[in-house]
Structure 1
Amino acid sequence: MKTCRLFFPALLFLIVLSAESAFSQGSFIDSISKQNHWVDSVYNKLNRRERIGQLFFVRAHTNRGKAYSDSVGKVIKDEHIGGLVFFQGGPGRQLNLVNQYQQVARLPLLIAMDGEWGLGMRLDSTISYPYQMTLGAIQDNNLIYKMGQQVAYDFKRIGAHINFGPDVDVNNNPNNPVINYRSFGDNKYNVARKGIAYFKGMQDAGLITFAKHFPGHGDTNVDSHLDLPQLPFTRERLDSLEEYPFKEAINAGVSGVMIAHMNIPALDTTKNLPSTLSRPIITQLLKDSLSFKGIVASDAMEMRGVTKFFPEGEADLRAFLAGVDLIELSMNSKNGAKLIRKAVRKGKISKEEFEAKVKKILAAKYWAGLSHYKPANPQNLNADLNRAAANELVQQLSNAAITMIKGDSRLLKQDSTKRTAIVSIGVTDRTVFQKELSAHYPNSTLFLVGKNTPVPQLNQMLASLKQYDQIFIGVHDTRLRPQSKLDYSSDVKLLIADLAAKPNSVISVFANAYTIAGLPGIEKAGAVLACYQKEDPLQRAAVKVITGQIKPIGRLPVSVNMFFTTGTGASL
């Protein structure tokens, strides 16, 4: 670490630190509203170019080679940016690169990531906690608070300070291509409660969080990464539904809010204008009407939802003037900063508003401990990030999420002496579900069905199953992300209906809950468990439910169809 990280004299630096009380994070929102000598001193030493640079956060990776890493380092030095947003890579590589970048930055950088389900959302060799849709089924929000604490530990362990999460969109459109399983569900009250529990856990453990995507991205059928979605609803509908979780999060003290790229005529009639660039939406609604005092971040400014109509730096300028405090992933940060400097010089924004934006970023740096920056420690990193307590919590969360949407848990555990078939569908190898369940049923046979198994083989298997007394079926979505529709052939889907119609059949769906709507006939099974995703802890949890070790206490967080609606779950 350099002896003088900041560029004002070392003596002044020491005076500023001694003037502050012992470092204490406390409430992030409260800290922004209070005068802070460190923030004021740093602000006064920055010139206009450096102040504007603090508002920009640029993209960083650790899997793109040295030339790419060096190019980011050059941007840090040349543009005086406020922070970085890391994407794919590994935790050790990222920790080391962050430490290097902090050394070349004249003012310590804020390090941000999207970690809706923890570091595993972006990095290899790290823990992935359950998706938010899975968490939406859990009835004990204290478990979600604990998850927030663990996620914060992981972030801080690798030198990160900001999680662009949680997602508090109300996903009331099953065909939503971009939110979907990233939401806690379609009930606004449940979404708000879960979102607050999650961000409070993170913030109480020292992480800056952002509720996203304001004013609500849950009822769209367009991915804003690819185009500009339109939200055609009335102001009354938006106020009562989409905005509800954000209002609750603001009242609960969330540190940041991220703005979506959506065109919303009821809130701003400007044609093709993304909400990210709308002053009526950001300043008048979010900051003034809803009294949000924290940091307002744009969604990624490289997304087609904004660049389609506002290319390059023009979008950055408009976002800045609309009320955005943190400009994320500009297409051309150098040009955007140049346009903003010109606008500030011409008085297009008041001195007070400009100063408040920059000081919010500086206050975030102080709250995150960057007034006395220390590099992250690479020692024992892998063990720390994959600690037993975190893995145990993942299993607890998984156990609490399993939802019995059909059947009676008292009848789930069938006779272990009878001939038992354990079928996993959508896979090519034996699953954890099969391996662990077969240990409880000595007289069992395992069957595998691929996503596109030919009809003759399906018929042959159905004929073989006639000699079994009971059947356990696992429906698996092996794709990286659990989409709303299974990528099975129609014949394999018909097989599931045939299996469901058999006596003593139990089906566990290790896939997005919405996929159940595309499996007609599944409601005829003796029991159906919604297990939400493919990961091993959910498979183990289903086995525990089937064998009576735990009770299925989850509740369906979304409406799937007329048979399985929001709140469905076993009455215990």
Structure 2
Amino acid sequence: MVPTDASEMDLATKVGQLFVVGFDGTELTADLRTLITERQCGNVVYFSRNVETPTQVATLTDRLRRLVLEEGPGVPPFVMADQEGGVVSRLGWGTELPSQMCIGASGDPTLARTAGEAVAGELAALGINFNLAPVLDVNNNPRNPVIGVRSFGEDPERVGELGVELALGMQSRGVIACGKHFPGHGDTSADSHHELPVVDHDRERLADVEFAPFRRAIDAGLDAIMTTHVSFPAITETPSTPATVSAAVQRRVLRDELGFDGLLVTDGMEMRAIADGVGTPEGCVRALEAGCDLLLVCHTPETQADAIDAVIDAVESGRLDEATIDTAVDRILRYKRRRVSDSRSPSAPPWADAADRSAETARAIAARGITLARDRDDTLPFTTDRPLRLVGSSGGPASPAEDDEFEPSLLAESLATVGFDVTCHEFDDPLEGPSFDDDAQVIAAVDDATADESQAAAVGALDDRTSRFAAVLVRNPYDLSTVPDVSTAVVTYDYTPATRTVLGEMLVGETTPTGQLPVTVPGFAD
């Protein structure tokens, strides 16, 4: 049973309810057991390092729940994950949805609602009751290194509309949806995993653009919001104050002005924008003072223990009013009674059924979202009667938030399933010989041409030399700015299994791409 309110708990148990901890490995670790049984930690977040198979995750969650209920605080835990879709998908066994920007390219609110229902069904079947999604950031900075395709696009109205539908789809299946990253991480050129970004817009601009999707989601009944470790000098006390630890952001803007009374969750408190500034333990105290409810400390057992001690010390010393803790705990308990009183959502389907629906929805998103940005010479579709040369290179994650790296061989396998005879080449291979003669069919799989000049150079050379050539931007539409004159370009927004499959069907003419770019690409005109 979930307690009625914080008055039924001692201080250690209350503080434990405020923390969400991560751990290493695919089983309960000794460090995690200690945090739960001795420090009363009440919530856990999964990363890809905790995930092997659906059965393993379901078993892990069941064991975690029993430990919390029988030897820990006795209150059902929030079990969280970042299952955004695309490049941020912790459950990566083939059913992950395409990126939010692919949904944005479809422009279809009904599809966004279906996506929310599908991902929540899969999470609930595994006992995960709290999804750290949707991303409500308005990505209007082409050089943003951490959001990009995780956003629905650059239009605040579209981001708000699609974000609301995705969130309500999740919540309709009993999973908490968490919009992020308030007040907005979309117009930054730095990654808060590495440093403190600054958004230097005035208050009016922030209200019109950055706040707008969050305002719409709050009005629609969003359960939770994640804060961002970004400075907003127009709001915060000083230019060096991250929004997460700013009462002006959390209390005055989010609670008072926008009227949000749901759960307020910090981004990871070990990210360097916090850790290298105020420090993680002090940052946790200041985040609570600012108005946050849940503190994510995701990686290091020693730091997790230090942060818990710092909060308890702040209460016992009188620095942090225990009433502040009680308010946060009461809000947490309210949502636990609403969403996690049972080990699984009562409406959760068996995992296999949920996975089938996710896979079907993923294909629908890819089919509606993949964008033919240009086909000046009617190069597409290709024919399977001639060999296909695939030029590309493996690429690592652009940010620590991401899970996978691009592998051209996976794209080659998908293209082979629709009948292509595919040969793979590296970008730095010499562009000589019969493989790249005028009759060849060639695809360049562009992963991050903005950072890798060799990709743009290869696209230009191949486009000039080969009459049947297409650049396939497997992730970032802003890469179009590096090849503004390319004759044929397809944007997929991610390289999930469903996207790769649908791309193959499009390249042979079985499916017609209908997506529209949801962002403006500097220097590129269709």
1:284 aligns with 2:284: no
Structure 1 counterpart SS, 2:158: helix
Task: List alignment gaps of at least 5 residues for structure 2.
Answer: 69-73, 394-407
The RMSD of aligned alpha carbons is 3.1
Structure 2 counterpart SS, 1:49: helix
2:156 corresponds to: 188
Q: Distance in 1 between matches of 2:338 and 2:56?
A: 25
CA displacement at 1:420 relative to structure 2: 4.5
Q: Map residues 401-416 of structure 1 onto 2, 5 A cutoff.
A: 401-407=369-375, 411=378
Task: List alignment gaps of at least 5 residues for structure 1.
Answer: 1-5, 7-37, 440-444
Give CA deviations for 1:279-299 in whole Å, capped at 9, x if unaligned: 111111111111111011111
Q: Distance in 1 between matches of 2:96 and 2:147?
A: 18
Q: Distance in 1 between matches of 2:61 and 2:470?
A: 49
CA 1:415–1:209 in structure 2 vs 1: closer, same or farther (change >3 Å)? closer
2:412 corresponds to: 431
Give CA deviations for 1:357-392 in whole Å, capped at 9, x if unaligned: 11111111111132x44699xx975x45642x3212
CA displacement at 1:424 relative to structure 2: 1.4
CA 1:316–1:505 in structure 2 vs 1: closer, same or farther (change >3 Å)? closer
1:367 corresponds to: 338
Q: Map residues 318-467 of structure 1 onto 2, 5 A cutoff.
A: 318-329=286-297, 332-345=303-316, 348=319, 353-370=324-341, 372-373=342-343, 383-384=352-353, 386-387=355-356, 389-407=357-375, 411=378, 420=386, 422-426=388-392, 429=409, 431-432=412-413, 434-436=415-417, 438=419, 446-453=422-429, 455=430, 458-461=431-434, 465-466=437-438
Q: Distance in 2 between matches of 1:254 and 1:473?
A: 46
Larger radius of gyration between Structure 1 and Structure 2 = 1
Q: Distance in 2 between matches of 1:86 and 1:415?
A: 42
Q: Map residues 64-463 of structure 1 onto 2, 5 A cutoff.
A: 69-87=29-47, 88=49, 89-90=51-52, 91-105=54-68, 106-117=74-85, 121-125=89-93, 127-329=95-297, 332-345=303-316, 348=319, 353-370=324-341, 372-373=342-343, 383-384=352-353, 386-387=355-356, 389-407=357-375, 411=378, 420=386, 422-426=388-392, 429=409, 431-432=412-413, 434-436=415-417, 438=419, 446-453=422-429, 455=430, 458-461=431-434
Q: Map residues 490-509 of structure 1 onto 2, 5 A cutoff.
A: 490=454, 493-501=456-464, 503=467, 505-509=469-473
Q: Distance in 1 between matches of 2:316 and 2:202?
A: 38
2:444 corresponds to: 475
Q: Which amino acid aligns with 2:482?
A: G
TM-score, scaled to structure 2: 0.86
TM-score, scaled to structure 1: 0.79
1:562 corresponds to: 523
Q: Distance in 1 between matches of 2:58 and 2:417?
A: 37
Q: Distance in 2 between matches of 1:95 and 1:60?
A: 16
Give CA deviations for 1:466-497 in whole Å, capped at 9, x if unaligned: 3x2xx6442225xxxx546364x63x644422
Q: Distance in 1 between matches of 2:415 and 2:61?
A: 42
Contact 1:59–1:84, Cα closer than 8 Å, also in 2: yes
CA displacement at 1:555 relative to structure 2: 0.7
Contact 1:56–1:81, Cα closer than 8 Å, also in 2: yes
Q: Map residues 19-34 of structure 1 onto 2, 5 A cutoff.
A: none
Q: Equivalent pairs: percent with the same residue?
A: 26
Structure 2 counterpart SS, 1:116: strand
Q: Map residues 34-45 of structure 1 onto 2, 5 A cutoff.
A: 39-40=3-4, 43-45=6-8
Q: Distance in 2 between matches of 1:421 and 1:407?
A: 20
Contact 2:243–2:250, Cα closer than 8 Å, also in 1: yes
2:403 corresponds to: none
Q: Which amino acid aligns with 1:125?
A: W
Give CA deviations for 1:54-91 in whole Å, capped at 9, x if unaligned: 1111113434x66xx12101111112222111112223
Give CA deviations for 1:119-145 in whole Å, capped at 9, x if unaligned: 982234352210122222112221121
CA 1:416–1:70 in structure 2 vs 1: closer, same or farther (change >3 Å)? closer
Contact 1:421–1:465, Cα closer than 8 Å, also in 2: no
Q: Which amino acid aligns with 2:64?
A: Y
Contact 2:79–2:130, Cα closer than 8 Å, also in 1: yes
Contact 2:106–2:368, Cα closer than 8 Å, also in 1: yes
Contact 1:136–1:191, Cα closer than 8 Å, also in 2: yes
Structure 2 counterpart SS, 1:170: coil
Contact 1:209–1:255, Cα closer than 8 Å, also in 2: yes
Q: Distance in 2 between matches of 1:514 and 1:288?
A: 37
Q: Distance in 2 between matches of 1:484 and 1:188?
A: 27
CA displacement at 1:500 relative to structure 2: 2.9
Q: Distance in 2 between matches of 1:367 and 1:475?
A: 49
Give CA deviations for 1:108-129 in whole Å, capped at 9, x if unaligned: 2111111111898223435221
Contact 1:114–1:164, Cα closer than 8 Å, also in 2: yes
1:530 aligns with 2:491: yes
Structure 2 counterpart SS, 1:529: strand
Give CA deviations for 1:484-522 in whole Å, capped at 9, x if unaligned: 6364x63x6444224434556444433321222222531
Contact 1:135–1:144, Cα closer than 8 Å, also in 2: yes
1:485 corresponds to: 450
Q: Distance in 1 between matches of 2:448 and 2:125?
A: 32
Structure 1 counterpart SS, 2:390: strand
Contact 1:126–1:385, Cα closer than 8 Å, also in 2: no
Contact 2:149–2:475, Cα closer than 8 Å, also in 1: no
CA 1:404–1:316 in structure 2 vs 1: closer, same or farther (change >3 Å)? same
CA 1:244–1:207 in structure 2 vs 1: closer, same or farther (change >3 Å)? same
Q: Distance in 1 between matches of 2:185 and 2:381?
A: 43
CA 1:39–1:408 in structure 2 vs 1: closer, same or farther (change >3 Å)? farther
Q: Distance in 2 between matches of 1:484 and 1:241?
A: 28
Contact 2:174–2:339, Cα closer than 8 Å, also in 1: yes
Structure 1 counterpart SS, 2:106: coil
Q: Distance in 1 between matches of 2:154 and 2:367?
A: 22
Structure 2 counterpart SS, 1:136: helix
Q: Distance in 2 between matches of 1:216 and 1:119?
A: 19
Q: Distance in 2 between matches of 1:446 and 1:340?
A: 58
CA displacement at 1:161 relative to structure 2: 0.8
2:396 corresponds to: none
Contact 1:475–1:510, Cα closer than 8 Å, also in 2: no
1:55 aligns with 2:26: no
